[in-house]
Structure 1
Amino acid sequence: MPMSPLVAGAATALLATLVSGCSTPPAAAAEEKKPEPVAVKAVAAEAATLRRTTTQPATVHAYYTADIYAKVSGYVREVPVDIGDHVKQGDVLAVIDVPEIKKQLLVADARVARSEAQVKRAESGKRLAEANLASARAGVVGAESRIASADALLQAGQAEFTRTQSLVEQRSVQQRLLDEARQRLDSGKADVESAKALVTMAQSQVAVAEASVAAAQSEIEAAKADTQVAEAQRGELQVMLEFAELQAPFDGVVTHRGVAPGDLVRAVTEARGVGSPHFIVTQLDKVRVRTMVPEAEASLVDVGDAVSIALSSARLPAVEGKVTRTSGSLDPSTRTLTVEVELPNPDGKLLPGMYGEATIVLFEKPDAVSLPASAIRFRTTGESYVYALDNASEVSIQDVTLGYDSGTTIEIASPLAAGQKVIDAHLKRFRDGDVVRVLEN
């Protein structure tokens, strides 16, 4: 049965449509959209002074504090100062009556005078002994001259005897003349022996006189030693009398008074113990601020390090200073290093006992390149790296060497340059060549 013209036209149109659909390119039908770049936040490496600090509790202490005690016992006669008074070194804080020491001092003066008189008497005895010695020596000289004279007479008698003996043998003179010459010779010999005895006696007198001089010198030395002892005892009493005045050891402020006029005070002794001080004097024109640095940072503290001290008192601003000294060793019980900062205190606003915090600059490194800690990545092997970005926001993985970590920023020791942008914290892991979209801050 032949098709109707209407059906034939519809079939023709359908066939043309099918043929037309089969001729469309497959690539155009399956075209896919490219993925959007991942959005990231970027941070730039900054070059700035890197500063490591430690902040620890700190307390203000007086530069010096002296507890004043009595060295002598007695009743307090006068107290010219009170708490809060400013005193100079040597100012009298209290006067103690010590009448017994004054009496002992009078006795000591008398002993010194007696000893000095004994010295003078011994010196007079020495002068007398020296005069006797001179006389004895003169006697020796006289005796020796008599020996010379006796020797001369003896020689003359010997010559006369020899001549007379020769004449007698020649029968020129009588025997009687020889006997007389012999008697004169014997007399001369006796005179010589007598003169020698006189010399010996005079020498003995010299020895006795020398011994007397030595004894007199010993008496002088003994008397002088007694005088020195008496003077030392008197000096000790004078010192004890000076202790009757309690004096300020340095310029400062009286921060404690423990006695009043009429009080009986006892001398401090090892047996009795110290007890409560009569006065406390505190030097406040400069103060010490002490803080304790933990063991982990103790080795980084040096004398001269800058310190900022913030006290709890709201009306006092932060005070700047430098580390003056350290203890040089750790406290075995706390494992901390004691650090002291000396501060001037001309107006007396810094009071001992004030509490606050001391921030010590342990080191400063100028022009150090750093990044936020969140921008640093770590491999499982421990190496650190960053995702560096170029001007086209293309990623490149760059290994870095880290330096000081402040907790929020980390120093990049190498090789990152200041101004280099890197990807901040992100969960995605990027690869070299990835392109990202940097979000505006």
Structure 2
Amino acid sequence: MSLLPRCLIHRFEGSRAMYLSKSRLSTTLIAVAVCTALAIGGLPRLAARDQVEQQTAALGKPSVSVITPIRAPEQQKLMLPGDIQAYQRASIYARTSGYLKSWQADIGTHVHSGQLLAQIEAPEVDAQLEQARSDAAMASANYEIAKVTADRWADMLKKNAVSRQSAEENISLMKAKQATLAAAQANVKRLEQLQSYENVRAPFDGVITVRNVDVGALIDAGNSGPPAALFELAQTDRLRVFVNVPQDDAPYIAAGTPAQLTLSQYQGRTFSGTVARTSGAIDPRSRTLRVEVDMDNPDGTLLPGAFAQVSLTLSSSQPGLSLPANALLFRPQGVQVAVVDAGGVVRLKTVQLGRDFGTRVEIRDGLAGNEQVVVNPSDAISAGQAVRISQHPAGSA
């Protein structure tokens, strides 16, 4: 090799160095290509794996929406159907049998207390009254004779001119005649009263709603069966409105509670009234409290028998908290709510319900007011379950 020219030796060494440099570059390029391929194919898989792990962790903690309880309003409007009735209503019957002579009031007539409505002809009653008066006059005469006789015998008894027994007999006879006179006078008064019933009069101010008889009709006062009413009279200048209040709202109803009435035929108009009284007991069939609302009706706009919507203003001196109705859980232990604590763990709290506001419900007991209550919880939610609080506020809150 020493025999080779020095120039050939240098050329050979240069070629060898160049070959080694090219070999190292190829190896480096191959390594870079492999790493690039691994990065292109592996990184998405690693990202997908991380995403799957995150999704798995998220599914392990359900997302819930929460809301904080707010103070319930002191007053609440309760809308219920109502039945309008006359303040007074009476069926007017005849107390004397006979024939209707005339009538002075037809349906729709406004009458006053004591006003004549009809006249009845009762000749039998008139004849009986005349006979009773004659009997009373005869009894009065007999009593006067007996009294004079008894007084004379009493004077003679003082002079010992007659026996005591005879005098006492005449005095007793006088007392008997006096009792007969009293009975005759009482019979006269009875028949006079019966005769006065021939004039049928209104017992109070009102309007005639029914007239069942006409002139010449036979009037039976109940001597041969149940009597028939001659007229129906209703007081309409003041009305009673009856409302059935549910048991849950009954404690908030008392005398003096304001009420507003609306009727479909009077759009945009309201009528004011006041609770006058309640039945004081819950109806066991409907579980409601019978409430009477009194209201003035001077112009007669409202008619008895009509249907109305009654709005009652219920007041509570100590209002509780309120939650959306979809936050409640009805469990065997009672009504509960799901509360999320600071560690993201569910706690179930039993609550006591109060007034119903429709979409919200009053909570009388069981919450302090600063809890995070789950809205629309699933039926499977349980105490001790880990959850995530959604960043989106509950729409129903």
Q: 2:307 aligns with which of 344, 350, 355?
A: 355
Letter in 2 for 1:9: S
Structure 2 match to 1:250: 204
Q: 1:70 aligns with which of 94, 97, 111?
A: 94
8 Å CA contact 1:369, 1:411 repeated in 2: yes
**Alpha-carbon deviation of 1:218?**
0.9
Structure 2 match to 1:235: 189
8 Å CA contact 2:64, 2:389 repeated in 1: no
1:162-173 matches, cutoff 5 A: none
8 Å CA contact 2:84, 2:241 repeated in 1: yes
Tell me, in whole angstroms, the C-alpha distance in 1 between the residues paired with 2:252 and 2:227.
Answer: 38
TM-score normalised according to structure 1 size: 0.66
Q: 1:326 aligns with which of 263, 276, 279?
A: 279
**Alpha-carbon deviation of 1:321?**
3.0
1:369 partnered with 2:321: yes
Highest CA radius of gyration, 1 or 2? 1
8 Å CA contact 1:388, 1:423 repeated in 2: no
**Alpha-carbon deviation of 1:285?**
2.3
**Alpha-carbon deviation of 1:440?**
9.1
8 Å CA contact 2:346, 2:387 repeated in 1: no
**Alpha-carbon deviation of 1:49?**
2.3
**Alpha-carbon deviation of 1:221?**
0.7
1:240-389 matches, cutoff 5 A: 240-260=194-214, 262-275=215-228, 277-292=229-244, 303-304=254-255, 308-315=260-267, 316-317=269-270, 319-322=272-275, 324-326=277-279, 328=281, 330=283, 338-358=290-310, 364=316, 366-376=318-328, 384-387=337-340
Give unpaired runs (5+ residues) of structure 1.
137-204
Higher relative contact order (CA 8 A, sep 6+): 1
8 Å CA contact 2:261, 2:309 repeated in 1: yes
CA separation of 1:303/1:368 partners in 2, compared to 1, >3 Å: closer, same or farther?
closer
TM-score normalised according to structure 2 size: 0.72
Tell me, in whole angstroms, the C-alpha distance in 2 between the residues paired with 1:7 and 1:79.
Answer: 142
Work out the number of aligned pairs and report it. Answer: 356
**Alpha-carbon deviation of 1:263?**
1.7
In terms of mean alpha carbon deviation, does 110-119 or 360-369 score higher?
A: 360-369
1:82 partnered with 2:33: no
1:17-166 matches, cutoff 5 A: 18=31, 41-49=65-73, 56-136=80-160
Q: 1:424 aligns with which of 375, 384, 397?
A: 375
8 Å CA contact 1:395, 1:434 repeated in 2: yes
Structure 2 match to 1:13: 25
What SS does structure 2 have at the residue aligned with 1:313?
A: coil
8 Å CA contact 1:49, 1:366 repeated in 2: no
Could you say what the CA RMSD is over the residues aligned between the two structures, in angstroms?
A: 4.2
What SS does structure 2 have at the residue aligned with 1:283?
A: strand
Letter in 2 for 1:12: R
8 Å CA contact 1:42, 1:424 repeated in 2: yes
Tell me, in whole angstroms, the C-alpha distance in 2 between the residues paired with 1:226 and 1:416.
Answer: 86
- Using the aligned pairs only, state the percent identity: 25
8 Å CA contact 2:351, 2:366 repeated in 1: yes
8 Å CA contact 2:210, 2:231 repeated in 1: yes
